[in-house]
A = this chain, B = another copy of it.
Amino acid sequence: MTGEFELIRDYFADIGGDLSGSVQLSVGDDCAVITPPAHQDLVVSIDTMVEGVHFPFGTSGDRVASRLLGAALSDLAAMAASPAFFTLALTLPDTDPVWLKAFSTRLAELARQYGVQLVGGDTTRGPLTLSVQVHGWTPAGKALLRSGARPGDRIFVTGTLGDSRGGLETLLNNIHGEQVPYLQHRFFCPEPRLDTALLIAPFATAAIDISDGLLADLNHILEASQVGAMLNPGELPISHELHHWVGEAQSRQWALSGGEDFELCFTAPALVEPKLAWALRDHNVAVTCIGQISETRGIVLAEDGQVLPVTPQGYNHFSGTGNLR
């Protein structure tokens, strides 16, 4: 068995390049050795995905790689960190060379794209489970936290929300149609908003990435910052594809609590909004203001003069909604 798993390791040789020059020793010893760049903080996050829980049984290796690394790097984006290196703990039921090749090829592509080097890992036999730890650097003391939102701050989100949940629903219900490829791509291939994060970091007071759903994750900012929020559901950024497939009401529900969007939700003072807009003028990811921070704790939705309190789990008047897990 050891021989078999040593073979597997060959799939993961030389994944990603060391752009930062900080990696002294990569795979091949008991540990990897990294020399931290001067005046930088290390930022780390570990994420696990299990077949049948985080992605359907039988998902192809390239899709699993996209989902795994995209979601993990999204945590670095939420801290406005620059990605540097990662480790991979891979538990496999068997050694399917087709799956492994697709997985490692896609992983290598993404590692190059995002500038992260694979510096270590572990390969074991068992039910398909993947843990990845991502590591990034921020200027010392400058990591973007959840705890800095202040009353009056504007609340922003990147991209569009609810697509990933839509993609999952098309998978689970075996739905076909014009919008399906886009929605499933959004589910399988989250794009960590690393570049956007660096552009907004000078202005943002708090940030999180949306994994549990906008309301749940915004609530983490609100609790850490001890504030509340008022959202305008009419401002929620919803893709044409999602809107076309399920209409206004369902789109909004998934945008608020669908989860797994891996977009950023962040806050910034109203005064810096022009500067923020200027910083993002040539940027190819939409950033939308969806509400503002209030002193009153909790979240309310306000549209056309109507005010609707919601729980972090979703609308009160929709039953059965909530998280995917």
Known interface pairs A124-B53, A131-B131; A30-B91 also in contact (CB < 8 Å)? no
User: Which residue on chain B has the smallest CB distance to residue A45?
Assistant: B31
Contact with B along A282-325 (1 / 0, CB 8 A): 00000000000000000000000000000000000000001101
- Check A167 for interface membership: any CB of B closer than 8 A: no
The 8 Å CB contact of A35, one of B24, B51, B140, is B140
Q: Which residues of B contact A224 (CB under 8 A)?
A: 28-29
Contact with B along A141-153 (1 / 0, CB 8 A): 1010111000000
- Check A164 for interface membership: any CB of B closer than 8 A: no
User: Which residue on chain B has the smallest CB distance to residue A35?
Assistant: B41
Q: Which residues of B contact A208 (CB under 8 A)?
A: 30
A131 and B122: CB pair below 8 A?
yes
- Check A260 for interface membership: any CB of B closer than 8 A: no
User: A-side binding surface: helix, strand, loop or mixed?
Assistant: strand
Q: Shortest beta-carbon distance, A5 to chain B, in Å?
A: 8
Assembled-state Cα–Cα distance A53/B88 (Å)? 19
Q: Which residues of B contact A267 (CB under 8 A)?
A: none
Q: Shortest beta-carbon distance, A208 to chain B, in Å?
A: 6
- Check A184 for interface membership: any CB of B closer than 8 A: no
Known interface pairs A2-B212, A42-B42; A81-B29 also in contact (CB < 8 Å)? no
* Copies per complex of this chain: 2
- Check A171 for interface membership: any CB of B closer than 8 A: no
- Check A205 for interface membership: any CB of B closer than 8 A: no
B50 and A91: CB pair below 8 A?
yes
User: Which residue on chain B has the smallest CB distance to residue A46?
Assistant: B87
Assembled-state Cα–Cα distance A28/B76 (Å)? 14
Give the residues from 16 to 53 in chain A that come closer than 8 angstroms, CB to CB, to chain B.
24-25, 28-36, 40-53
The 8 Å CB contact of A33, one of B28, B41, B90, B133, is B41
Assembled-state Cα–Cα distance A138/B24 (Å)? 12
Contact with B along A47-64 (1 / 0, CB 8 A): 111111110000000000
Q: Which residues of B contact A53 (CB under 8 A)?
A: 124-126
Assembled-state Cα–Cα distance A5/B48 (Å)? 13
Q: Which residues of A contact B (CB under 8 A)?
A: 1-2, 5, 24-25, 28-36, 40-54, 75-76, 78-79, 81, 87-91, 119-122, 124-127, 129, 131, 133, 135-136, 138, 140-141, 143, 145-147, 207-209, 212, 216, 224, 322-323, 325
Can you name 20 A-B pairs with beta carbons within 8 Å? Answer: A2-B212, A28-B146, A30-B209, A31-B45, A33-B42, A33-B43, A34-B44, A35-B41, A36-B40, A36-B41, A46-B121, A46-B122, A46-B131, A50-B129, A52-B126, A89-B89, A91-B129, A124-B325, A126-B129, A127-B129
